[in-house]
Amino acid sequence: MNKTVYTIFFFIALLHTSFAQNVMCGHDMVRANMEKMYPGYQKYVDQTFEDAKSHAKNIRQTNTTYTIPVVIHIVWKEEEEKIDSSLILSQIDILNEDFQRLNEDADEVRDEFVDVVGNPMINFELKDIIYTQTASDYDVNIFTGALPDEVKFSNQGGSDAINTETHLNIWICKIQPIIFAGQFGGQLLGYAYPPNDLDNWPKGADFPEGEFEGVVLDYRTVGRNNPFPIQILPDQEVTLSKGRTAVHEVGHYLGLRHTWGDADPGFPNSCNVDDGIQDTPNSGIQSMFDCNLYQNSCNNSPFDLPDMIENFMDSASENCQNSFTAGQAALMRGILETSRCVLVDACQEVSTRQLITVPINIQPNPSTGIFSIKGQDLILSNFHFTLFNSAGVTFPLPLHNKTIDLTDFPPGVYFLQGQDETNRIQQKLIKK
Ligand SMILES: [Zn+2]
C-alpha cells in the first residue's frame, strides 16, 4: 500500500472514530468551527469560564431559584418533524426536574458520588412555541465543520431568534446524519454555543452575533418517551425517552464542559484534559451511550473514583444519567450571575445611593493600554474606584496620577466605577 492510500485510509478511520465519538453532541465541533471562523474565540470562552469559576467561589449564597424564559422554535419539513406541543411541555418538565434535582432517578447515583452531587436550582418557563415550515435540510459539513445554524434565520429557511439576551432559544429540527463515503458516519443530536462575553471583543471585531446563542436539538431527542427512533451508531438505532440531550446542551449553554475534557475532534482525549470543575472525577474518555459502571479511565490515586457516568455532561445512556455535581451547579449559577445575568435578571446592582453622576473625560478610548483622564478638577485621590470586566470580575485599578494603565490586561471591555462622598463616576473602557 503506498503512502497516499494509507493516509486516506487513516483519515477515514480518524473521521469515523471522531464522529462516532461526537455523535451525542456537537460541542467539540462548535469549538473547532468557531475558532476557525473567529480566531481567538476559544480564548474568550476560556476567559469567561475562568471568570465564572472564580465567581462561583464567591457565588451569592442565596436560595433563589433562577427562572429562564424559554422560546421553542420547531422548524419542520416532513409532517413527523412537526412534533406535538405535549412533547415540548414534557421537555420543559424534564429540564425543571434535572436542573432542580427533582428527577425520580436522582437517588440512583452511586454511593461514591452522593457527596458531590448538587442542585443548580434553575427553573425553565416556556414562553412560546413557534412552528415554521421549511424546505431546507439541516446538515453538518464534516469538511468545513459548519453546523446547521441556518435554522436560526428566517431568510435561510429557519426561525429568527427571540431576544437571546432575555430568552433561551431552542431550535428543534431534523439534523441529517453524517454520511461519509456512502456510509453512516455519525449523528449529531444537538449543540449549543457556550457563553462568550461578546462585550469582551474589541469594537469592530467580527464576532458571532447574539442571534447564534441558544440550543439546537434533533426532533427525535425531545421530550419524554419520544416515539421517533434515531440511528446513533452504524449498527444501533435507539428511541430516546428521557429528553436528556436538551439537559446536556443547556449545560453547555450555561458554560459546562464535558466531564472528559474537550479534546479536539479527531484527537484522543486523555486524563490530562480536564473539564475545569474540581468535583467531577477526572475521566479520559467519553462514555459510549452505555451504562458501564466499571469504566474508570483515569487513575487518580489516592482517591480514585470511577468515571461518573451519572453525570449529564458525560455521554452515557440517558438511562443512567441523573446528576450534576455541586461544582457544575455553582458554575452554572455563576454564569447566570455574570455572562447571562440579563436572562434571569440577576445582574450585579450598582450602588443606588443618591450620588451625582459626574462626567469624566478619558482619552484615548478605545486604547491599546494607556487611558488618560483629561481636564478633571475632581480630587481623584478622594475616590474609591472599582474596575471590573463584563463577567463582573473586579481588578485593582492601576491608576497613577491621572493615567490608567491596562497594558497588561487582555483586550476587552472594562467598567470603571468610582465614588466619593457625593459624586459618582462611571466609564466604559475599551482595551484594544
Ligand atoms: Zn456535549
Residues 386 and 284 in one domain: no
Question: For the residues 175-191, what does the mean pLDDT come to?
Answer: 88
Q: How far is the CA of 248 from the centre of ligand 1 (A)?
A: 6
Q: How far is the CA of 27 from the centre of ligand 1 (A)?
A: 5
Residues 333 and 361 in one domain: no
Q: How far is the CA of 192 from the centre of ligand 1 (A)?
A: 8
Residues 313 and 401 in one domain: no
CATH number reported for the structural domain that contains residue 414 in this entry = 2.60.40
Q: Which residue has better confidence, 22 or 107?
A: 107
pLDDT digits over 284-316, tens only? Answer: 777 777 888 888 888 776 677 888 999 999 988
Which positions are catalytic?
Answer: 249
What band does 377 get if pLDDT is binned at 50, 70 and 90? low
Q: Does residue 224 lie within any of the structural domains?
A: yes
Q: Does residue 306 lie within any of the structural domains?
A: yes
- According to DSSP, the β-strands at 215-218 and 168-173 are parallel
Angle at 375 between CA 372 and CA 380, to 5 degrees: 70
**Whole-angstrom distance, CA of residue 120 vs CA of residue 328:** 8
Strand, helix or coil at 193? coil
The tally of domains found in the chain comes to 2
Q: How far is the CA of 258 from the centre of ligand 1 (A)?
A: 6
Q: Is the pLDDT of residue 100 over 80?
A: yes
Residues 99 and 12 in one domain: yes
Q: Is the pLDDT of residue 207 over 80?
A: no
**What is the residue-averaged pLDDT of the chain?**
81
CATH number reported for the structural domain that contains residue 222 in this entry = 3.40.390.10
Q: Does residue 323 lie within any of the structural domains?
A: yes
Q: Does residue 259 lie within any of the structural domains?
A: yes
Half-sphere exposure of 430 (CA within 13 A, CB side): 11
pLDDT digits over 355-364, tens only? Answer: 667 778 888 9
Highest mean pLDDT among 10-24, 140-154, 242-256: 242-256
Q: Does residue 349 lie within any of the structural domains?
A: no
Domain boundary (295, 317, 344) is at 344
Q: Does residue 24 lie within any of the structural domains?
A: yes
Residues 67 and 205 in one domain: yes
Residues 335 and 398 in one domain: no
Q: How far is the CA of 166 from the centre of ligand 1 (A)?
A: 23
What band does 45 get if pLDDT is binned at 50, 70 and 90? confident
Residues 293 and 425 in one domain: no
Q: How far is the CA of 202 from the centre of ligand 1 (A)?
A: 29
Q: In the prediction, which pLDDT does 390 show? A: 66
Q: Which residue has better confidence, 389 or 306?
A: 306
Residues 151 and 291 in one domain: yes
Q: In the prediction, which pLDDT does 200 show? A: 38
Residues 338 and 367 in one domain: no
In this structure, what is the dihedral angle of CA atoms 78, 84, 88, 94, given to the nearest 10 degrees?
A: -110
Residues 15 and 76 in one domain: yes
Q: What is the pTM of this model?
A: 0.74
H helix count then E strand count, the chain? 7, 20
Highest mean pLDDT among 61-65, 178-182, 374-378: 178-182
Domain boundary (344, 367, 390) is at 344
Q: How far is the CA of 263 from the centre of ligand 1 (A)?
A: 12
Reading the block at residue 225, the C-alpha cell is 418517551
Query: Residue 277 contacts by C-beta under 8 Å, 6 or more apart in sequence?
Result: 256, 257, 325, 327, 328, 331
Q: In the prediction, which pLDDT does 267 show? A: 55
Chain mean position to CA 397: 30
What band does 12 get if pLDDT is binned at 50, 70 and 90? very low
**Whole-angstrom distance, CA of residue 223 vs CA of residue 88:** 6
Q: Does residue 350 lie within any of the structural domains?
A: no
Strand, helix or coil at 219? helix
Q: How far is the CA of 376 from the centre of ligand 1 (A)?
A: 51
- Domain with 127, as residue range(s), is 3-344
**Whole-angstrom distance, CA of residue 51 vs CA of residue 60:** 15
Residues 197 and 328 in one domain: yes
Question: For the residues 176-187, what does the mean pLDDT come to?
Answer: 86
Domain boundary (308, 324, 344) is at 344
Question: For the residues 181-200, what does the mean pLDDT come to?
Answer: 77
Residues 335 and 368 in one domain: no
Q: Does residue 57 lie within any of the structural domains?
A: yes
